[in-house]
Structure 1
Amino acid sequence: MSDEQLMSWRPRLTVRLRLTLSYAGLLVIAGAVVSCIIWLVFRIVPNYPLNGANPRDRRVLPPSRGDILHLVVTLSGWALGFLAIAGLVGGWFLAGRMLKPLQEITAAARKAASGSLDHRIGLTGIRDEFTDLSDTFDEMLGRLQRSFEQYRRFAANASHELRTPHAVMKTMLEVAAADPDHQDVPELVKRLAETNQRGIDIVEALLSLTALNNRSVELDPLDLAAVVRSALPALSSEARAAEVELTCDLAESVVEGNEVLLHQVVVNLVQNGIRHGGGSVAITVAPGRLVVRNTGSVLHPARIRTFTEPFAKARYGAGHGLGLALVDRIVETHHGSLDLAPIPGGGLTVTVVLPTADLVG
């Protein structure tokens, strides 16, 4: 028989059995100590003849020291046997009761390992180590469930978004191949280029999200207003082409950040306002804060809460829905916060709060 087979045939000593043996062993040892003390006490009793209470009564002989020691040893043996049985029975019951919460946690872990993440333990009663472990395990299951649900939605939406440009290009090429003599080639090339660019944008955004999830970012003190100024030329050109008014109010704001990533945040937020907003976009930089406001239609708060989910805005027919998701991930990487709030008259206010810092030199 191999070593692995020998290991598999070894008896399984459960925690409950070990606790039971420990309880019983402790009782037996304590009883044995008490018995030894009693035996030692009687060992030092003087060995002289004992007389009865009435010296004239000769019918009952008083016990000798040897008789008393023999009785002590006999009763101690019976007591130790009783303690051993009581320790085993009581220890088995107590160990089972104490380990019941652990069994529930184990059952929940098995269900989670099989793919069921909607089960919760929810231990109640006195706060102890088991309830703390249960609450921590339930919180972990909740996070895992939300993560897997988000991953499934992301995978489904990504597959759909990546398939759409290719399906559109395939249709245009099939139509052109079926009737090549009646095609506007420049227009066809333009539409193919636009559709291909959309696919490229989606792939680049997905790669950016993946890169942020798999690397640490070095943060250095920098002026957030300077980052906005570096992005303004391209953003102003796009705003003029879309006939959108772009205004700025830039104050010095030194934050801990990565210049390339914060430049991406500024570009994504302003482009979001230009392409999906109304007739104006306002950029404000204050200490530790970047605010981008754009006019537009009235937005419901429940809808706004989904904008930072990947492909969320694509469900409303606006872009591929990765811009704000990328912004949210970049802000999280910078240990900041992102807040999206509707403007009562219509439009959206996006506020980015970043940790402040001091410029060196």
Structure 2
Amino acid sequence: EAGPADLRRLAERFNQTLRDLHRLWKEREMVLVGVSHDLRTPLTRMRLSAEFLPAEEEARGEIIANIQEMDKVIHQFLDYARSGEQEPLVTTDLGLWLKMFILRQQNGVVWHPPAADLPKLPIQEVGLARALQNLIDNAQSHGAAPIDVSAEPTADGVLIRVRDHGPGIAETELETVRVPFAQAGKGGGVGLGLAIVERIVAYHHGRFTLVNASGGGLEARIILPQPR
């Protein structure tokens, strides 16, 4: 039988493994942020130079579009690396916060106010805004307008829905599309948008799922729990 000394050694090895994993994760984040940041400066110079190229308008426009697409990819890498940062949680009137967030969106995004008041919840305001923006951008890129955003209180928190009216995705991709670098269909980016949502929601101890809506389209669901 294992004695107290054996259990203590086992606990020490387990804790050391956790520390090693945390260190490796932070090192990976630092490399990702560093490389992405360093690439943005030459890309900006390339874009500015391309705008003054003595080339045909169509060719110059294509060069600039490609540079902007590369910049978008780098921006996704930075967002993914930073989505694990410890932004403080702030107790927020979620109903008012969501309403103001949707008012800043372009046409085609529709806010459906809840029938009952939403509870105040501790959230990362910047992080949650980034997660919802990624869902809206994904719906606009892969789905079809209108993009419906709604929220409702649940027994233990709040359920937020973001739904488009496009074709949806294959049932087999509902889980895999949330994995980093996975993509469904066509669109820009590198496949990190939904992975960023996953990380931010996990930091809130919430749940993030995708379902094909019964009337057509893809519906993203975020459940934010009440603090225990």
Which TM-score tier does this pair reach, normalised by the shorter chain? 0.5 to 0.7
Counterpart pick for 1:249 among 109, 112, 116: 112
SS at match of 1:316: coil
1:207 to 62, 65, 78: 78
Q: Is 1:271 paired with 2:121?
A: no
Pairing 1:296-311 to 2, within 5 Å after superposition: 296-311=166-181
Identity of aligned residues (%): 26
Contact 2:163 2:217 in 1 (8 A): yes
Q: 2:143 touches 2:168 (CA, 8 Å); kept in 1? A: no
TM-score (norm 2): 0.67
Larger Rg, first or second structure (1 or 2):
1
The separation in 1 between residues aligned to 2:127 and 2:168, in whole angstroms, is: 30
Structure 2 residue runs of 5 or longer lacking an equivalent are 33-38
Structure with greater strand share of residues: 2
Give the aligned partner of residue 228 of structure 1: 98
Q: Which amino acid aligns with 1:249?
A: H
- CA 203–233 in structure 1, closer or farther in 2 if over 3 Å, else same: same
Q: Is the contact between residue 249 and residue 283 of structure 1 (CA under 8 Å) also seen in structure 2?
A: yes
Q: Classify the secondary structure of the residue corresponding to 2:66.
A: helix
Distance 2:106 2:162 in 1: 14
Q: Deviations over 1:229-261 (max 9, x none)?
A: 333244224x3xxxxxx3221234322101111
Q: Which residue of 2 aligns with 1:317?
A: 186
Shift of 1:353: 0.7
How many residue pairs match? The answer is 185
Contact conserved, 1:299 with 1:346, CA < 8 A, in 2? Answer: no
Once residues 247 and 318 of structure 1 are traced to their aligned partners in structure 2, the CA distance between those partners, rounded to angstroms, is 22
Question: In the TM superposition, what is the alpha-carbon distance from 1:284 to its structure 2 partner?
Answer: 0.4
Partners of 2:167 and 2:207 in 1: CA distance? 25
Q: Which of the numbers 237, 261, 277 marks the counterpart of 2:127?
A: 261
Q: Match for residue 56 of structure 2?
A: 184
Change (3 A) 1:217 1:277: same
Report deviation, 1:345.
Answer: 4.3
Deviation at 1:352, TM superposition (A): 0.4
Asked if structure 2 preserves the Cα contact closer than 8 Å seen for 1:224 and 1:285, the reply is no
Quickly say closer, same or farther: Cα 1:223–1:190, change in 2 above 3 A. Answer: farther
Q: What does residue 49 of structure 1 align with?
A: none
Quick one: structure 1 residues 227 and 190, their matched pair in 2 at CA, closer, same or farther if it must change by over 3 Å? farther
Q: Distance between the aligned counterparts of 1:234 and 1:194, measured in 2?
A: 25
Contact 1:338 1:351 in 2 (8 A): yes
Alignment-mate amino acid for residue 162 of structure 2: V
**Alignment partners' CA distance in 2, 1:271 and 1:212:** 17
- 8 Å contact 2:142–2:185 — kept in the other structure? no
Q: Which has the higher contact order (CA 8 A, sep 6+)?
A: 2
Amino acid at match of 1:334: H
Give 1:290 shift.
0.9
Q: 1:205 to 1:227 in 2, by over 3 A?
A: farther
**Kept in 1: contact 2:112–2:150 (CA 8 A):** yes
Greater helix share, 1 or 2?
1
Q: Is the 8 A contact 1:256 1:354 kept in 2?
A: no
Kindly state the Cα deviation for residue 349 of structure 1 after the two structures are TM-superposed: 1.1
1:236 partner SS = coil
State which of 212, 220, 223 in structure 2 corresponds to 1:353. 223
Q: Judging changes above 3 Å, is the alpha-carbon distance between structure 1 residues 212 and 264 closer, same or farther for their aligned structure 2 residues?
A: closer
Pairwise CA distance, 1:316:
3.2
Give the conservation status (yes or no) of the 8 Å contact 2:123–2:204.
yes
Shift of 1:303: 0.9
Matched, 1:195 2:66: yes
CA contact (8 A) 1:228 1:266 kept: no
What amino acid maps onto 1:337 in structure 2?
A: R
Contact 1:298/1:345 (<8 A) preserved? no
What residue in structure 2 maps to residue 78 of structure 1? none
| Distance in 2 separating the partners of 1:229 and 1:189 | 40
Q: Is the 8 A contact 1:305 1:340 kept in 2?
A: yes
Structure 1 pair 227/337, CA: closer, same or farther in 2 (3 Å)? same
Amino acid at match of 2:88: E
